[in-house]
């Protein structure tokens, strides 16, 4: 094992890890916005919206993220007659993918709240949306922290797939360094180790949040 190679590659890899965190945070962030909208429209009584929400979730959870990245990067430009850059494609594909998973997480969280809460809110004259916003969602948020943390960890790892469209996050950086140095073993081991540090840190952070919110749980 050549530690000198690792040492000299490390700054590049760490910068790549920063990019990985960036696309993960952006994708899960947009994914949360998409997810909450999708989960709410699936909970409304309006059938057309519900079906559209179901199709969205089924399609994005039922197809590989890699294929979705190809669709956005290679197929979409043909449709809109405009080149799509790698950064946009990476964020876009990961966000819509994450949105589908987050929608399911939100739905589970919302449905786990006792029906009596909605009834109590409505019986006080609050609208469905007011009750959602002030009563149901704040309680649901606390319950979905753990699965949301898992989604973040999953996206941290799955974002390595955007390396195939040449987007320079951690995995792609590793590939590029190996192309130059042929130090396959050292670099892939380092890349793996950096991913491990990141997922471990996120898992610990989520555990911390979980314990802090425990006190209001019944």
Stretch that binds another protein, among 56-64, 73-81, 138-146, 180-188 (CB under 8 A): 138-146
Among 114, 184, 197, 212, the residue binding another protein under the rule CB under 8 A is 114
Q: How far apart are the first and last CA of the chain?
A: 53
The residue written with tokens 């997922």 in the block is 199
Among 49, 52, 76, 142, the residue binding another protein under the rule CB under 8 A is 142
Among 12, 15, 84, 126, the residue binding another protein under the rule CB under 8 A is 126
The residue written with tokens 């979980």 in the block is 210
The yes or no reply on residue 62 touching another protein (CB under 8 A) is: no
Closest to another protein by CB, 87 or 128:
128
The yes or no reply on residue 218 touching another protein (CB under 8 A) is: yes
Q: How many CB atoms lie within 10 A of CB 114?
A: 11
Shortest Å, Cβ 129 to another protein: 11
Shortest Å, Cβ 217 to another protein: 8
User: For the chain, what's the residue count?
Assistant: 218
Give CA 192 to chain center in angstroms: 19
Closest to another protein by CB, 76 or 145:
145
Query: Which contacts qualify for 61-67: CB closer than 8 Å, 24 or more apart?
Result: 61/100, 61/101, 61/104, 65/93, 65/94, 65/97, 65/158, 65/161, 66/161, 66/164
d(CA 116, CA 27): 34
Closest to another protein by CB, 23 or 140:
140
Which parts of this chain interact with another protein (CB under 8 A)?
114, 116-117, 119-127, 130, 134-135, 138-139, 142, 216-218
């Amino acid at each position: 094992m050549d530690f000198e190679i690792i040492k000299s590659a490390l700054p590049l890899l760490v910068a790549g890890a920063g990019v990985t965190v960036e696309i993960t945070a952006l994708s899960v962030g947009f994914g949360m916005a998409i997810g909450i909208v999708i989960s709410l429209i699936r909970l409304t009584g309006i059938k057309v919206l519900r079906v559209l929400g179901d199709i969205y979730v089924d399609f994005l959870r039922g197809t590989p993220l890699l294929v979705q990245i190809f669709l956005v990067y290679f197929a979409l430009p043909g449709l809109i007659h405009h080149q799509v850059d790698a950064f946009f494609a990476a964020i876009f594909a990961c966000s819509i993918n994450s949105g589908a998973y987050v929608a399911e997480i939100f739905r589970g969280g919302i449905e786990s709240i006792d029906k009596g809460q909605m009834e109590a809110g409505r019986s006080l004259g609050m609208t469905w949306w007011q009750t959602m916003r002030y009563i149901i969602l704040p309680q649901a948020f606390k319950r979905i922290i753990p699965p949301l943390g898992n989604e973040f960890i999953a996206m941290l790892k799955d974002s390595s797939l955007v390396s195939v469209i040449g987007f320079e996050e951690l995995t792609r950086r590793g590939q590029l360094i190996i192309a130059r140095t042929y130090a396959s073993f050292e670099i892939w081991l380092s890349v793996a180790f950096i991913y491990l540090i990141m997922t471990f840190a996120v898992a610990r952070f989520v555990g911390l949040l979980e314990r802090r919110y425990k006190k209001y749980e019944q």
